[in-house]
Structure 1
Amino acid sequence: MFFQKELETMTRAQIEEIQLKKLKHLVKYCMDNVPFYNKRLTEAGVNEDKIKQLSDIQYIPYTTKADMRDTYPFGLFAQPLKNITRIHASSGTTGKPTVVGYTKADLDMWSDCMARLVMAAGASDESIVQICFGYGLFTGALGLHYALEKIGATVIPSSSGNTEKQIMLMQDFGTNTLVSTPSYAQYIGELAKEKGVLDKINLKLGLLGSEGCTVEMRDQIEKTLGMFVTDNYGMSELMGPGVSGECEERCGMHINEDHFLAEIIDPKTGDVLDKGSEGELVVTTLSKEGIPILRYRTKDITEIDYEPCKCGRTFARMAKPRGRSDDMLKIRGVNVFPSQIESVLMGFDEVAPHYQLILTRSNFADHLEIKVELSNTLSHEMIENYPKLEELHDRITHDMKTVLGIQTKITLVDFNSLERFAGKAKRIVDLRSEGK
């Protein structure tokens, strides 16, 4: 199903024509309305006349999260607050939050972008959608809320937490579509099974996001809840969810290219890479009025496929991010992404999809311990059968070393012993500052 078929099936030439026109306008708009960008573009010798083709975007300096924090709270806004309809912000767990503002036109564009993606994933006016994202400054909940209402779906804004009540509402309201993080979706399934009501839940579609979800984790969630799971991508700095998302073919996440111009760069050098290369995703917001962003370095590692999709959409598709360049763990000279660890663990039926990474330092070297939960059905059996437990430990250790290229410490723990999260899962505990 399509929300705006004429736009979603444009030719590559039509897409790039729109992008170039909007990019030229955006450069002038930023020069005229954002002092930060006026200074930066002037220093780089860039104005709208410099942009003659899309590749000329290379002359525009990058924008980073540090820029947004340095201009906190409203230094990147292009409109006065009287024209800003809504403000969102990141959690700010590592410093000042990144603050973003939306005009009325921005909110309309946002809901259109997300409406395209939820319909591509299979949502419709028949959907009864329970949104288990936290409502507030976080962009996720409201980003999907208004889009789902726009397509005629029934929305249940249950927010996050109170999982037993969430399960009760799913039964009583006939919820058939779930919006949540992947880790929370899995927890809902586990608790419903524990309470003996899993067969009374009628979920058919999961619109999951806000944290990474490997194919292996997706398969596990589908197995637990019996629903079709899709992934979507976004971040508050760019808009929120709605930058890209999977269709029912699940062969990449369609980028809303008439509103976002995506590039892939070398994360170390900043050089733009050839089409088809894997690297860091950089995004320019082509349509936003409240806080336009030029060449934002997302830190997400992915690649982009520009071939038309089997679903009929012609927007380019980005692969599920392999990880983040700033989340990449450097262990004894080896680059390790948490997604690699998740993929290995999801290959073992004996373990649950919950794990924790403990980073420590001793003798001036970094060490990685991976705490892995046993599955609910096998937990007591495995703990009482030491040879079987040891054999599982050895298999996980072997596979992890094969994939990561380094030796890690594997610690098997009882089911339900690791913390569950209603929002983004916090899987990394970094204790390296305490060691030598």
Structure 2
Amino acid sequence: MIWNESRECISRDELIDLQGRRLVKLVKHMYYGTEYYRKKMQQQGIEPGDIHGLEDLDKLPFTTREDLENFCSFDTHTADVWSECAARTICMSGLSGRDKILAAYPYGLSAGAPGICSGAEKTGAAAVPFSISNSSKLAAMMKESGVTAVMCTPAYLMRIARMAEEYGLLEQLQLKTAICSAEPWQESARKQLQTKLGIRIYDIYGLGEFAEFGTAGECRFQNGMHVQEDYYIPEVIDPRTQRAVPDGQKGELVLTSLCNERIPLIRCRTADITSISHNRCRCGRTTARLERISGRTQQQLFIRGKQVSSGQLETALMQLEDIRAVYRVSVKREHHLDTVEVLIGPDEPDGTLPADEEEAVKRRVAGAVRDIIGIMPNTIVAKQGKKRYFDGRKVTVIDKRTYN
């Protein structure tokens, strides 16, 4: 199903013209309405009159996450854009107004979960908001309410599968589709979960500064994530040269938001590594497609001379599926020697790891990390007072070393 055929199947020439007009309007809006951007453009010697269309995009300066500290705003128009993007990605996965969609994300300052619910309702589907803090009752609730789809992180979908299996509910769920985002994962893990749950799982991409859930999403052919190009201009650049790379070549994803009036971001460097394809998809959509995010430009670590990505550590720890835990991996330097510490905490806000299992868990976690970094880490099980060290993600990697 295609939610908005006039935009998702627009001809490339029409799309480029639309993007160009919106870019020109956005640059004027930013230049005359935002002092920070005006100074940034003036430093580059650029004025609004220098931008005539999409062909002038590379004249504009990049935006970084550090720049975003100068902005903190939200409006109803931006909410409408995010709702539209969520509706499109929901329909891309084959869902419709007949479905019941569980939104299993944290409900806090993030606009992600409300955006999912708004997008689901836009399609006519029933939205079922569910706080991840109540996951002990999740499988039974899904059975009773007849949920047919779930939107969550890959790690949380693994938890759903475990709980359904534990309570003997796998065969009783009406689940047919899952849409996952917010965490890196491997194709092998997706295939394993698809087989276990008997469903199709789709990737979507989003950032809090853009459409948190729906900047891009997979269609039924699962051959890349379609970007909502009428709202966002994607570029993939070589992070060293800052120049565009050819289709199919990996680089850093750069996004420009064309319609977020209060958060006008031009050429925002996401630090996410992907590749792009402009070939027309078999589904009929003409929009560019992104490969699944394979890493981040800022995630490469050198530990005692060995290059390691935090994505490798995330993958290794997420594969310990039977251990219900979250992890904080800290890289430190003590007496001029690199050391690694892994803090292990329960994956439930009020939970604890069984005391009789702590040593076994520590050994398995240490072994998984050692296989990646080449040295034995120090593993610590977090007590009640240390839960503040976890930021809600399954795996957090922090480099605490200084190089003075």
Question: Normalised by the size of structure 1, how large is the TM-score?
Answer: 0.77
Whole-angstrom CA distance in 2 between matches of 1:311 and 1:7: 14
What is the match of residue 82 of structure 1? none
Whole-angstrom CA distance in 2 between matches of 1:265 and 1:123: 33
Whether the 8 Å contact between 1:112 and 1:147 is mirrored in structure 2 is yes
Whole-angstrom CA distance in 2 between matches of 1:431 and 1:67: 22
Structure 1 unpaired stretches of 5+: 77-98, 373-382, 414-418
Which amino acid is the alignment partner of residue 247 of structure 1? C
Per the TM alignment, residue 21 of structure 1 is displaced from its structure 2 partner at its CA by 1.3
Whether the 8 Å contact between 1:279 and 1:301 is mirrored in structure 2 is yes
Q: Classify the secondary structure of the residue corresponding to 1:101.
A: coil
What is the match of residue 208 of structure 2? 236
What is the match of residue 50 of structure 2? 50
Whole-angstrom CA distance in 2 between matches of 1:342 and 1:214: 11
Which of 280, 283, 286 is residue 311 of structure 1 equivalent to?
283
What is the match of residue 211 of structure 1? 183
Q: Classify the secondary structure of the residue corresponding to 2:74.
A: strand
Whole-angstrom CA distance in 2 between matches of 1:430 and 1:423: 12
Per the TM alignment, residue 129 of structure 1 is displaced from its structure 2 partner at its CA by 1.0
Given the alignment of the two structures, is residue 189 of structure 1 paired with residue 157 of structure 2, yes or no?
Answer: no
> For each residue in 1:122-174, what CA deviation from the matched residue of structure 2 results, as whole angstroms up to 9, or x when unmatched?
11111111111122311210111111101010111122221122222101111
Which amino acid is the alignment partner of residue 120 of structure 1? M
Whether the 8 Å contact between 1:214 and 1:339 is mirrored in structure 2 is no
Which amino acid is the alignment partner of residue 29 of structure 2? Y
Which amino acid is the alignment partner of residue 16 of structure 1? I
Whether the 8 Å contact between 1:134 and 1:141 is mirrored in structure 2 is yes
Which of 138, 141, 144 is residue 172 of structure 1 equivalent to?
144
Whole-angstrom CA distance in 2 between matches of 1:68 and 1:216: 35
Same amino acid, percent of matched pairs: 31
What is the match of residue 74 of structure 2? 101
What is the match of residue 10 of structure 1? 10
Q: Classify the secondary structure of the residue corresponding to 1:238.
A: coil
Per the TM alignment, residue 410 of structure 1 is displaced from its structure 2 partner at its CA by 8.5
Question: Residues 423 and 153 from structure 1, CA distance in 2 versus in 1: closer, same or farther, beyond 3 angstroms?
Answer: farther
What is the match of residue 428 of structure 1? 396
Whether the 8 Å contact between 1:15 and 1:258 is mirrored in structure 2 is yes
Whole-angstrom CA distance in 1 between matches of 2:378 and 2:193: 23
Given the alignment of the two structures, is residue 252 of structure 1 paired with residue 211 of structure 2, yes or no?
Answer: no
Whole-angstrom CA distance in 2 between matches of 1:432 and 1:67: 23
Per the TM alignment, residue 107 of structure 1 is displaced from its structure 2 partner at its CA by 2.2
Question: Residues 308 and 431 from structure 1, CA distance in 2 versus in 1: closer, same or farther, beyond 3 angstroms?
Answer: closer
Whether the 8 Å contact between 1:281 and 1:297 is mirrored in structure 2 is yes
Structure 2 unpaired stretches of 5+: 345-356, 381-386
What is the match of residue 83 of structure 1? none
Whether the 8 Å contact between 1:214 and 1:342 is mirrored in structure 2 is no
Question: Residues 429 and 278 from structure 1, CA distance in 2 versus in 1: closer, same or farther, beyond 3 angstroms?
Answer: closer
Per the TM alignment, residue 197 of structure 1 is displaced from its structure 2 partner at its CA by 2.5
What is the match of residue 93 of structure 1? none
> For each residue in 1:38-58, what CA deviation from the matched residue of structure 2 results, as whole angstroms up to 9, or x when unmatched?
221122222232123424212
After superposing the two structures, state which structure 1 stretch, 198-207 or 122-131, moved more. Answer: 198-207
Question: Normalised by the size of structure 2, how large is the TM-score?
Answer: 0.82
Per the TM alignment, residue 196 of structure 1 is displaced from its structure 2 partner at its CA by 2.6
Given the alignment of the two structures, is residue 35 of structure 1 paired with residue 35 of structure 2, yes or no?
Answer: yes
Q: Classify the secondary structure of the residue corresponding to 2:151.
A: strand
Which amino acid is the alignment partner of residue 65 of structure 1? R
Which amino acid is the alignment partner of residue 296 of structure 1? C
1:383-402 equivalence runs, <5 A: none
Per the TM alignment, residue 19 of structure 1 is displaced from its structure 2 partner at its CA by 1.1
Which of 269, 282, 292 is residue 297 of structure 1 equivalent to?
269
